[in-house]
Amino acid sequence: MNKTKIIVKLEHFCEVNPSLSEFIGRITGLINAENFVKLMSRLDIESNPRKPKESSVTKEIFETLQQNPSYFHLMSKGILLSSSSCEKMERSRFKLDFEHNGFAQPGILDGGHNTFAIAKFILSHVLDESEIKKIKDWEVLIDSWKTNNEELSSLFKDDEGVDFKFHIPIEIIFPRNNSTETLEAWGDNHRDITHARNNNTQLTDSTKDNHQGFYKYIKELLPATVKDKIEWKTNDGGQIKVADITALALIPLSKLPKSMLPVEISPVKLYNSKQFCVETFRSILEMKGDDGNLLNGIRSGQMFDLSNTVIMSGLDLVKDLVDLYDYIYKEFPSAYNEAGGSFGKIDGVRIYDPKHLTDKKYSKRPFYTKFFGRQITYQYADGFIVPLVVGLSELINCDGKIIYWVTDPKEFLQENLKSILKIYSTVIKFSNWDPQKVGKDNGSYELAAGAMRMAISEHKFRNK
């Protein structure tokens, strides 16, 4: 059985004449429940910048299918599909191919929540109510669908099938042929069509950038435990925003030659402007020369592929920075205390200690670091430590060919964090122990950088 191709039957279909669209074909029509089940065996949600999940919208769609199925095709905009090819056959049937052709990711471009609700409704005919209630997101839905594939197919047997009375509006777009000109037009316009069709709920820039491949290189180098926690696309369920990763990435990229930086990277903005981090990261990668061509990568249809080895070497340091961020967060309280402070007494700081259940400052449950989930005793706003994390740029150099650590950063922090805090802790006192003031003050970053440079000098002297 071919895993990417499927034949579906459309009712009341209509085709757009090639004279209106030379490179991209478009077919609209209706499909019944049986053909929807066939499609679900091949469909992928990766082409949609937003991942569907249970919501008030999907619940309303589910109720419509229960209470008013005959009018569903009039009440729903249905599903927009992208297919790498579409071959018209006899009896209103079409052969679709959902294999990635290298220019655009085929699958569901719009209507993900419709697809989720319809699939869940059909599953309700083979699963009991308690199992249906467990289906809250796309991954669980697909697992359940695959597990019950045979039972779903049996719903349409003539002698014992279910009479589903609804039809689903469907729209299919596809490249008209396999010529290079057509496929390039297909890839370029595919991205714009996807984003335009999803404009009823504004997509974040990071979601769009992920959809175009700007984070592909970072994804490949991050540990799986970290990568899986990041919300790469809207409704992905990640605990960490992409902007937090781009902020870390801009620390080594700030060492690029000025000719490779479209804007100055302000340390404060790495803390207080996540939009700046996302936009600046993208602008560095897709920087163009005087001739209008990309300097740091290539585009294949909608997808961007990074090729600049200097930028790659800088991004290689991100996997260290997520670990260093967690290390600083964990060790900061004790280093602050050794510098003469009393971290636990700061407003907003919470302490894990199940013995103090009556005091709101204490928690009976432990806390965990942001990226690797390591157990820690203190929970606090990261404004206190961001200047130190950004200050790690003092340990980074760029020789024009590669961005690299001048010394092992973990060993450096293990040896010097306490002495750095003796200098840096003063900024916390002068900011009235307010983490937001610390994170938003240029002086915090200057003091952190100065403390780092002093520690580097002492580190070099000790290790001669």
Whether the CA torsion 365, 371, 377, 382 is positive or negative: it is: negative
Give the integer Cα–Cα distance in Å for 127 and 115.
18
* Global confidence as pTM: 0.64
Strands (E), 68-209: 79-82, 85-88, 93-97, 107-110, 167-175
pLDDT at 37 over 80: yes
Q: Which two tokens stand for residue 241?
A: 């925003």
Residue 249 predicted with pLDDT over 80: yes
Task: Say how far apart CA 314 and CA 303 lie, in whole Å.
Answer: 21
Q: Six-digit token pair at 409?
A: 């950063």
Question: Residue 204: which pLDDT band, with cuts at 50, 70 and 90?
Answer: low
The model's confidence at residue 150, banded by pLDDT at 50, 70 and 90, is confident
Nearest of 118, 15, 126, 142 to residue 57 by alpha carbon = 118
Mean pLDDT value across residues 163-181 = 92
User: Each residue of 43-97: pLDDT tens digit?
Assistant: 765 655 567 888 888 999 999 999 999 999 999 989 999 999 999 999 999 999 9
| DSSP-assigned beta bridge partners for residue 230 | 240
> What is the model's pLDDT at position 20?
87
Between residues 458 and 437, the one the model is more confident about: 437
CA distance 341 to 426: 10
Asked if 50 and 234 count as a contact pair (C-beta separation under 8 A), the reply is yes
The C-alpha atoms of residue 294 and residue 464 are separated, in whole angstroms, by: 44
Nearest to 174 by CA among 79, 83, 300: 83
Q: Report the mean per-residue pLDDT for the chain.
A: 88
Residue 236 is encoded by which pair of tokens?
Answer: 């992905």
**pLDDT > 90: what percent of the chain?**
58
Give residue 48's pLDDT.
Answer: 56
Tell me how far apart the alpha carbons of residues 242 and 214 are, in angstroms, rounded to a whole number: 11
Q: In one letter, which amino acid is 450?
A: G
Q: For the chain, what is the radius of gyration of the CA atoms?
A: 27
167-175 and 403-405: which strand pairing?
unpaired
Beta bridge partners of 139: none
Distance between CA atoms of 275 and 281, rounded to whole angstroms?
A: 10
- Which helix or strand (DSSP H or E) is residue 440 part of? helix 435-440
Tell me: the pLDDT tens digits for 19-30?
Answer: 888 899 999 999
Q: Using CA atoms, how far apart are residues 240 and 226, in angstroms rounded to an integer? A: 9
Alpha-carbon torsion (47, 49, 55, 58), positive or negative: negative
In the chain, the amino acid numbered 69 is P
3-class state of residue 219 by DSSP: helix
DSSP string, 41-73: TT--STTSSB--B--HHHHHHHHHHHH-GGGHH
What pLDDT digit, counting tens, does each position of 403-447 carry?
A: 999 999 999 999 999 999 999 999 999 999 999 899 999 999 999
Q: What is the pLDDT of residues 100-133, one digit of tens each?
A: 887 888 888 888 889 999 999 999 999 998 999 9
Mean pLDDT for the stretch of residues 190-201: 68
Q: What is the mean pLDDT of residues 366-380?
A: 94
Taking residues 212-230, report their average pLDDT.
91
Which of 238-242, 347-351, 391-395 is predicted least confidently? 238-242
Q: What is the pLDDT of residue 202?
A: 43
- pLDDT average, residue stretch 167-189: 89
Model pLDDT, residue 463? 65
Q: In this structure, are residues 186 and 109 in contact, taking their beta carbons and an 8 Å threshold?
A: no
